Chain A
């Protein structure tokens, strides 16, 4: 659906409309995953592997089952075989089959009448393990003699001399690298490491499952995609999808980590066996041990540049580990790595390797931050060594309309140059720096996509409107969707209420991910509104006894199209709604689409920071985010996305990491030892929104949810490197690591 050809002056889109969930959330009325209860409800708990890697020789649940108050005990034997290998991996991650693949991997579960009985029952389950050698780090897992995490999962095209743990091997690019590097005045090649981080959502996974003896089931859970939860759970339990209704609760953060299942099939299986509702709520410890962290990486980047700042060739070798299962995140890292640049010769190649860690889950722009971090770091080091302005160099090499991207397609209208120019013109870029201070800069990129979307728009008898859509609101989508509907219908924002449907109440919707919802659900909402408008005009045409085409819709009223259409008083949406039952019945608009044309997104981040040379501590002094939103439907939410991504990226850059002992056990599964940034760590983050319309959306909207987490890693690394006078090549840049680098 293309950009509207007629330029419009927006009345509601672009305003800071109040958030519809605000009062619910500040008064505690909003219902999150753990807030739902049911009569006769049991408590579910999960037994987890104490080993990083172990064969499960046997599980004896008899003592637990005999304990008074225990209503069901399950293991992997209580699930069907999944319909395909990807789903089977998701199931095996929920409940280990032959091997426990990481510390915290679920091996059995119980449902009991109280938490204390459930806990006691877990202690009575006897698991006979054969402990196996484990592997945690990327560089160890790729060695040919590394412990094999899963047999027979190796990629067919694995290079000789590498481990069977390698599951994806890919490359992208074009041009003659050797010729390109030969043209360079300076070539720099460096190696980089990044640690695995967690999405860090505040709300742990939680669900309430009810399955009756008739095979019908209901599931309430915090998720980014209730339809996908339904698909996976139905598959794992051998159900027809129609018999499982999944309702998404309010969500306390997801950031990609709630795009799959962990406890939901377990709760359903416990409920099926017990014949009672089962509530399962993860502890923070379980969230860290058994839900998706992101990948960790070990990468090499080589870039050549002329003295005047033109990049002549670029090569990246990226190595990702995504935990104990095959993981395709490397694909997006490789495609993102050089996307910001217009390059004649570029190759990004790499692979994924399995380790004895939790299965990685998506995290905002999956794969891109850790791919762009080494690239932007080497570009910055080249600028330093050649004494070039890093922003001018990026402008000189920036991708723009007509650029053949490093991953293949030719770019259409994109906002990178405008974003860089905005950064250059901003007072932040020319502000003076003091001692021990540095300024870091980085570009970022994400693809965005649209996907499958269904929307219903129902006209109420009083002329107000209810919108039903199927994507959990993780970043303000209810407000944005209401605003787009209000804009299209010409009625007040407050006259619209948008609700999130359960899986039985609306057609299929893809998961809330890929920065897709404001784009795709917004697009479907506009089309549903236009569908409803067409129906209203048709009713009015009948009343006026004129041709349907002779009625137009303006500012919430049906009007004669012109003098030739006749002399009629305009009819408001409330008047049309009031007589709907007599003019043909209820009026509703619908639209179902697999939306395309999401439009890629670029961002530029600037950070000023100061390093304490005695402690290595980093203080963020100033932070500015520049990002192309296409059209910012609700600037408050767009700024929130830009600021939130920056904060998560700051945590990734400075402090966050999964720390394992030599025994392969996770050492820091809690927020005391896993340090995410808090408000007192941060200055106000200024968000500068650019609006370069996306040609693939009627209002020009682009997704904004993911790009903002991409640049901070390199921006901070470049800032720290410039502040201390030594380059940093590893994340997180925690104080001991910075001190060590300062001291050489």
Chain B
């Protein structure tokens, strides 16, 4: 299982949990599993999210591996100016 940290305002969709467990081996898996286990997260994931995996921020990097001990943090989709 991979522990995924969700930001504060999304915790309404995870029954208040700041960290949720999902069965995942890569970036794409994490998002698919999050949507399945917590349908309330789906609108945000569809709008766009990034994942910080062990401190590195990834956008749309489906095949980036995650390990059971990886630090995985759900973040808004990164943009800039």
Chain A interface residues toward B at CB < 8 A: 156-157, 169-174, 255-257, 259, 328, 331-332, 335, 347, 349, 362-366, 407-412, 446-449, 451, 513-516, 594, 596-598, 696, 706
Contacts and interface: CB of A to CB of B under 8 A. Distances in A.
A393 B58 CA distance: 32
A328 B77 CA distance: 10
Given A447-B78, A451-B59, A516-B80, A410 B8 contact: no
B52 interface: yes
B40 to A, nearest CB: 9
Given A407-B75, A597-B56, A706 B81 contact: yes
A82 to B, nearest CB: 15
A335 B50 CA distance: 13
A594 B52 contact: no
Nearest to A173: B8
Interface in B10-69: 12, 18, 43, 52, 54-61, 64
Nearest to B40: A156
Contacts of B60: 594
A171 B7 CA distance: 6
13 contacts: A170-B8, A332-B79, A365-B80, A366-B80, A407-B75, A447-B78, A447-B80, A449-B59, A513-B81, A515-B80, A594-B59, A596-B61, A696-B56
A512 to B, nearest CB: 9
A409 B76 contact: no
A256 B79 CA distance: 10
Nearest to B43: A156
Contacts of A257: 81
Contacts of A328: 76, 79
A409 B8 contact: no
A335 B43 CA distance: 20
B81 A259 contact: yes
A408 B52 contact: yes
Nearest to A512: B80
Contacts of B78: 447, 449, 514
A602 to B, nearest CB: 15
Nearest to B76: A331
Contacts of B64: 596
A702 to B, nearest CB: 13
Interface of B: 5, 7-9, 12, 18, 43, 52, 54-61, 64, 71, 73-76, 78-81
Contacts of A364: 81
A407 B74 CA distance: 10
B54 to A, nearest CB: 8
Contact of B80 (A172, A335, A448): A448
Contacts of B12: 157
B31 to A, nearest CB: 15
B80 A409 contact: no
Contacts of B18: 174
Q: Which of B60, B74, B80 has the most CB of A within 10 A?
A: B80
A335 B81 contact: no
A85 to B, nearest CB: 9
A412 B57 contact: no
A404 to B, nearest CB: 9
B8 A363 contact: no
Contacts of B56: 412, 596-597, 696
A256 B80 contact: yes
A364 B56 CA distance: 21
B76 A362 contact: no
B61 A256 contact: no
A594 B61 contact: yes
Contacts of A408: 5, 7, 52, 73-75
A474 to B, nearest CB: 11
A449 B80 contact: yes
B79 A514 contact: yes
Given A157-B9, A172-B8, A408-B5, A366 B79 contact: yes
Nearest to A292: B81
Please provide the 7 A-B residue pairs with the shortest distance between their CB atoms, ordered closest to farther: A256-B81, A514-B80, A171-B8, A362-B81, A409-B52, A408-B73, A331-B76
Nearest to A452: B60
A365 B78 CA distance: 11
Contacts of A169: 9
Nearest to A404: B71
Nearest to B44: A170
Given A409-B55, A410-B55, A411-B55, A362 B7 contact: no
B81 A255 contact: yes
B80 A362 contact: yes
Given A157-B9, A447-B80, A451-B59, 18 more contacts: A156-B43, A256-B81, A362-B79, A365-B81, A408-B74, A408-B75, A409-B57, A409-B75, A410-B71, A447-B78, A449-B80, A514-B81, A516-B80, A594-B59, A594-B61, A596-B58, A596-B59, A596-B61
Contact of B71 (A332, A407, A409, A516): A409
Contacts of A598: 57
Nearest to B46: A84
A347 B59 CA distance: 24
Contacts of A365: 80-81
B2 to A, nearest CB: 14
Contacts of B61: 594, 596
Nearest to A600: B57
Contacts of A362: 79-81
Contacts of A171: 7-9
A255 B5 CA distance: 32
A675 B78 CA distance: 31
B49 to A, nearest CB: 10
A72 to B, nearest CB: 34
A363 B80 CA distance: 8
A363 B81 contact: yes
B80 A170 contact: no
Contacts of A174: 18
A216 B45 CA distance: 35
